[in-house]
Amino acid sequence: MIVLDLFAGPGGWSHALTVLGVRDIGLEWDEWACKTRAAAGQLTVRTDVAAYPVWPFLGKTSGFIASPPCQAWSMAGKRLGLFDQPLVHQAVADLGGG
């Protein structure tokens, strides 16, 4: 069993899981984040998480992490995500409704 990590970035969650003795696979689209993960020996698929099929993971995962980028929402960033907040809320409601 393995933990699936979407928006894996350079591997912060993966490092923590490794310390705990847990294996994971990270899905990440950014080239440099993938290179950082590779240098750390972390299993990574370079892909857009929205386009990657879920069937390879069915029945094989024991955990799930999804930490989408927060720069658009963070006080440290430009907070341009606030303009999209109604769309994000609708998307969450749609997902919750099936």
Residue that wins the pLDDT comparison between 13 and 92: 13
Topology (CATH level 3) of domain 2-67: Rossmann fold (3.40.50)
Percent pLDDT > 70 in the chain is 100
| In the chain, where the domains are located | 2-67, 70-98
pLDDT one-digit tens code per residue, 4-23: 999 999 999 999 999 999 99
pTM above threshold 0.85: no
pLDDT one-digit tens code per residue, 46-74: 999 889 998 999 999 999 999 877 777 77
As to burial, measured by CB atoms within 10 angstroms (0-12 exposed, 13-18 middle, 19+ buried), residue 36 is middle
Q: Do 32 and 11 form a contact (C-beta atoms < 8 A)?
A: no
